[in-house]
Structure 1
Amino acid sequence: MACSQPEKRIAIAATDHDIITILPGEIKEKILTKLPIKEAVRTSILSTKWRYTWASIPEIFLKDDDLVSYLSTLDGAGASSRFTKIVDLLLFIHNGPIVKFNLSTKHHCPEAFDRWILKLSRNGITTLLFSLNLPYGTKYIISSNFFLCNALQHVDLSMCAIKLPHGFEGFKLLRDLKLDQCTITAADTEKLVTSSPQLATLMLMNLKFEHNLRIYAMGLECLVIGGEILDLQMNTPQLTTAYISLTNTMPSPARVGCHDLCRSFGGLLQIQRISLFGVCIQRLVDGPPVELPKAFHYLKLMHLNVDFANQKECAFFVFATTGCN
């Protein structure tokens, strides 16, 4: 059977080029984002058409494991120096927008981190993940250039020290914020949340606040908080999921009832899933009695850490569960 002209052209293209090479550039970039960065860079030796393809990928994932062959034979300082040089070179050669940057490392290189964030702030970054595995007590003081990343939508930071600059007006597009083992004041946390009007998910894990924390977020849907908190006040009328875990390491004078938290439950009219762990119930029943909603009409799941040897906690459990439809 004779082939049509279009079929002949496709057949010739398939024999003259490999199928992946003739794919559109954006598809090849998508493929490369699924590879470890080391393997993505190695594609530059395939042919002249592949030489700089990796240099325009919009998503960059950098993990120590991906660079282990380069770093395993060096000592701590040498490995950190080599690590920063590799990343500096990657970012220097990169010639396109970087919308997602994921860094996972044990190396504490604050000056290099500052350079990289400056680069990202000029490249339309929308998703930034800094997963740092630093020695206990060590924190990376987040660069002021971080607050210039106006297009940010998703932020995940661990082991960072955060201080809002004077005049900070917020991240207007931010939808997801996660802080784990970070150092930040309650006042800066409150300002960061209230100045992010699109915020839908907030996760504050392993944090310590020396003052009461207020979460005012009209569009917030998911809230996860775990750590040392004196008291928590929430104005979150759209909240559907709440996970709150309080630890009991506060000084004795601070171990009083969570008055604000207890009152805040009255405003959770849309809540569907709620979990209270640690000493939440203990701290709640130590506060003044409050009126909970007559019924949580949308509640589907409740997890409570209750001491059934404590009469007050048992009474709270009965009251809370009988108020659920």
Structure 2
Amino acid sequence: MERNMKEMRGSTSDIISNLPQSVKETILVCLPIQDAVRTSVLSKKWRYIWTKLPRLVFDDNFCRESTRKTKTELMMTIYQVLLLHRGPIPKFILNLSRLESCSEINQLILFLSNNGIQEFALLIRKGDPYKLPSSLFSCEQIRCLRLRSCVFKSPPEVKGFSRLLELVLYEVVVTADILSSLISSCPLLEKLSLKRSGNLDSLEINAPNLRFLCCGVPKRLPNSLNNLKTLKLFFVCFEEVNEISVILCLIRSSPNLEKITVVAPSTETVVVIYPVLELLEIKDWSGVSLNQLQVVQLGGLYGTRSELKFIKLLLAISPVLETMFIQTDSEKVVDEGLRILNEVTISTLVTSSRNQI
């Protein structure tokens, strides 16, 4: 019996050890990097498989067993992995929740620039933004670049990334001129995502192959819409950040509005998210006044906090407002929401009376 068990174990070991190289690499790619390294002790045939992995991911799974390590110790661990790695590294992701900006990242990017990097993600989560080194722009084969909390300053001799297909910038410090120049120097660019990155109100995008664009809405348009008197918007979801951002941008950019109509869609699910409430804070509207606005029509409301804040905002910036008409579906509006809307209606009538006096 014991002999049979040994034979079975030996047989299983041979099956695992004799797997095709491509299958072994596929298995290791699915593992956290530290677990992939540990497979080197399985047998001689597994010893160096991990050193040829085309994809290196250093995220919170990587450092789950080293929570007490300093950022310098973490970087040294990453260096050790890179020094033992053999061959090109097409994909590299550094996304640690404890990672702060540090000079050690410069050497890491320099190493990757000499090892065929095609997809690079650097997501800084803590501390000051990281200043990108010039070595990043020598990554001629890069096809996908994702950056978070970085300072993007390209040297004048850089012509861009000739093979770049996707660019994602989140909380990146960059001027509109530099970004416009970079985009125009990436002739193959297909996807561009800009979130909370610099003051890009006047960004010029010259990308003939662009298929996907995601960007934050500016607070106001570069040029005011002085001749716009009536603004009508339908199917507006007050819980969607992008939709509310567009509305507020149009209102800020239209100082001579006389009438505003906003109709929400008839939906059963209403979930208010905090970023929307932040956008509607009255304190951020100092210096904005709709001195010509006389009529506001709001339809399809449910009495949510975001809707209430929007109403209060319009009341605060419209000194000559005469009429605010609020239409709700009494069968769908919850009791609390209906009570809130009634209170707002009363306050609106009081405000209108004072304006007439």
Q: Give the match's secondary structure for 1:61.
A: strand
Q: Give the match's secondary structure for 1:198.
A: coil
Letter in 1 for 2:124: L
Instruction: List structure 1 segments (4+ residues) > 3 angstroms apart after TM superposition.
Output: 281-288, 310-314
Q: Give the match's secondary structure for 1:223.
A: strand
Which one has a larger percent strand, Structure 1 or Structure 2? 1
Structure 1 pair 170–19 and aligned structure 2 pair: CA distance change class (3 A) = same
Question: In the alignment, is the contact (CA less than 8 A) between 1:255 and 1:283 conserved in 2?
Answer: no
Letter in 2 for 1:155: L
Q: Give the match's secondary structure for 2:40.
A: helix
Partner in structure 2 of residue 163 of structure 1? 153
The residue correspondences of 1:138-177 to structure 2 (distance < 5 A) are 138-177=128-167
Partner in structure 2 of residue 283 of structure 1? 249
Cα deviation 1:41-67 (Å, max 9, x = unaligned): 110111121111101101000013322
Partner in structure 2 of residue 120 of structure 1? 112
Superposed displacement of residue 88, structure 1: 0.7
1:225 aligns with 2:193: no
Letter in 1 for 2:68: T
Q: 1:33 aligns with which of 24, 29, 34?
A: 29
Q: 1:81 aligns with which of 62, 68, 72?
A: 72
Superposed displacement of residue 28, structure 1: 1.3
Q: Give the match's secondary structure for 1:224.
A: strand
Superposed displacement of residue 107, structure 1: 2.2
Letter in 2 for 1:192: L
When normalised by structure 2's length, the TM-score is 0.60
Cα deviation 1:5-50 (Å, max 9, x = unaligned): xxxxxxx9x9374333212223311221110011001101111211
How many aligned positions are there?
Answer: 240
Question: In the alignment, is the contact (CA less than 8 A) between 1:256 and 1:283 conserved in 2?
Answer: no
Q: 2:206 aligns with which of 205, 211, 216?
A: 216
Partner in structure 1 of residue 351 of structure 2? none
Partner in structure 1 of residue 218 of structure 2? 246
Question: In the alignment, is the contact (CA less than 8 A) between 1:142 and 1:160 conserved in 2?
Answer: yes
Question: In the alignment, is the contact (CA less than 8 A) between 2:200 and 2:218 conserved in 1?
Answer: no
Structure 1 pair 256–58 and aligned structure 2 pair: CA distance change class (3 A) = same
Letter in 2 for 1:150: E
Partner in structure 1 of residue 224 of structure 2? 257
Letter in 1 for 2:100: H
**1-structure distance, mates of 2:169, 2:17:** 41
Partner in structure 2 of residue 46 of structure 1? 42
Letter in 2 for 1:58: P
Question: In the alignment, is the contact (CA less than 8 A) between 1:257 and 1:284 conserved in 2?
Answer: no
Structure 1 pair 223–312 and aligned structure 2 pair: CA distance change class (3 A) = farther
